[in-house]
Structure 1
Amino acid sequence: MELNPHDLLRIKGAEELISHTPIPNWVEESLAISPYVVIRRSRAATGQVAVGVRGPERNKRFPAFLPIDSILSRISPERLAQEKGWHNHSKMIFQCLDRVSDLLNPASLTWGPTGSVGFELATGQEVVSKKSDIDILIRISEDFTIDFAQKIEKELKKNPYRIDVQLETKEGAFSLSEYTISEGREVLFRTMDGPFLKEVTLGLI
């Protein structure tokens, strides 16, 4: 089973989690309502994967580890984009995903919603609020030019909701908006070993 950061994993419950600190009561309550955890960008021991539990409030997130054998099913952001389940949601924020799809699909880009929008699409639990942004990941390669990145950023800004895009590579991820204005400067690169500043050379070919 291929596992990537931002994938949502269905599990039995909090008893499956491995943590070096006490597990808060709200973690068990949250997983009883919606038994899904999200893969974190962090290294884990052999046979485990780093995950996070989403709480009832924005400031409640709990990092833990999960035995890979405990995974019941996996939902990737890309799968959510392919299924277009947002057509079944009446909230305006979900309808914006049609615009994102119309922009990215013709370019044959692999993408998908993450964050609260992706979580609600995958689980059916209502976590999206009026203050929510739309989080998107796009998996890119060396032919993703700076000019194309700037075009995407410009079009996405026309949406009524703020759209935060992470560009995912095999080594890590970085912000689309930060990349488009980097002009050769370093950007914050998020990896399995933590974040660091790095000059991204995509688009120079």
Structure 2
Amino acid sequence: MELKPHDLLKIKKAEDLISYTSVPEWVEAALAKAPFVVVRRARAAQGLVAVGVRGSVRSERFGAFLPVDLIVSRVSPEQLTEEKGWKTRSKEIFQSLEQISQVMNCTSLKWGPVGSLGFELASGNETVTEKSDIDIVVRFSKNLTLNAAKKIDDELKKNPFRIDAQVDMPEGAFSLSEYAISEEKAILIRTVDGPLLKKIKNHPLPVVR
């Protein structure tokens, strides 16, 4: 099973998680309500995957590790896009995902909703609020040229909701909007070893070292 950042993993119980720090009291209740954790970008020992637990408010976030063999099932952002579960949701913010889908359909890029929208679509647990933005992840490929990024970014800005689009590649993740206007400027790339400023001169992106 290939696991990528932002994948949602269903687990059986909170006790399946491994933590080297004290576990907040809210974690068990949160997982009892929605037994899903999200794959995060961090190093993990052999047989483990770094995951995050989300609570009922933004301040409730907890990082831990999960034995890979205890994963019940996996839901990727791309799978949520294929299922288009947002069409059955009444909240206006979910309907805006259809506009994003139409924009992305003009590319060959794989993408999907993450954050509170992705979590609600995957788990069925209401996590989207009036203050929620739309978070999406775009999996990097050679088709994401600078010109393509500019076109996508321009179209996404027409959406009535604020969209935070992150581009994910094996070496790290970066902002689509920042990449679209990068030209000769360095952009911030989030890696497992921390943030890295990288000047991108040639497109598609070179491997980050």
Q: Is this a same-fold pair by TM over 0.5?
A: yes
1:40-74 deviation line (CA, Å, top 9, x unaligned): 10010000000000011101100000100110000
Cα deviation digits, residues 56-107 of structure 1 (max 9, x gap): 1101100000100110000000000000000110000000111111111121
Equivalent AA in structure 2 for residue 184 of structure 1: E
Distance 2:81 2:184 in 1: 32
Tell me what 1:188 maps to: 188
Amino acid at match of 2:56: P
Matched, 1:15 2:11: no
CA distance in 2, matches of 1:78, 1:64: 24
Matched, 1:169 2:177: no
Name segments (4+ residues, structure 1) moved above 4 Å: none
Stretch moving more, 10-19 or 182-191: 182-191
The residue identity in structure 1 corresponding to 2:73 is S
Cα gap change, 1:143/1:87 in structure 2, threshold over 3 Å: closer, same or farther?
Answer: closer
Residues 143 and 202 in structure 1, CA contact (< 8 A), matched pair in contact too: no
What TM-score comes out, normalization by structure 1 length?
A: 0.96
Q: What is the CA–CA distance in structure 2 between the aligned matches of 1:204 and 1:65, rounded to whole Å?
A: 30
Find the aligned partners of 1:6 and 1:144 in 2 and give their Cα distance. Answer: 20
- The residue matched to 1:106 in structure 2 has which SS? coil
8 Å Cα contact 1:42/1:194 also seen in 2: no
Residues 10-34 of structure 1 deviation map (CA, whole Å, 9 limit, x = unaligned): 0011100111111111000100100
- 2:136, 2:164 within 8 Å by CA — same for their partners in 1? yes
Q: Secondary structure at the match of 1:138?
A: strand
Q: Note if 1:112 corresponds to 2:112.
A: yes
- Amino acid in structure 1 at the alignment position of 2:18: I
In angstroms, what is the RMSD of aligned CA positions? Answer: 1.4
Aligned partners of 1:142 and 1:107: how far apart in 2? Answer: 12
Aligned pairs, number: 205
Separation of aligned partners in 2, 1:53 and 1:203: 33
* Counterpart contact for 1:9–1:75, Cα < 8 Å: yes
Amino acid of the structure 2 residue aligned with 1:59:
S
For structure 1, list consecutive stretches of 5 or more residues without a partner in the other structure: none
- C-alpha distance in structure 2 between counterparts of 1:103 and 1:117, whole Å: 18
Alpha-carbon distance in structure 1 between the residues aligned to 2:12 and 2:158: 41
Q: Tell me the CA shift for residue 203 of structure 1.
A: 4.9
- The equivalent of 1:89 in structure 2 is 89
The answer to whether the Cα contact below 8 Å between 2:109 and 2:143 also exists between their aligned partners in 1 is: no
**C-alpha distance in structure 2 between counterparts of 1:86 and 1:127, whole Å:** 14
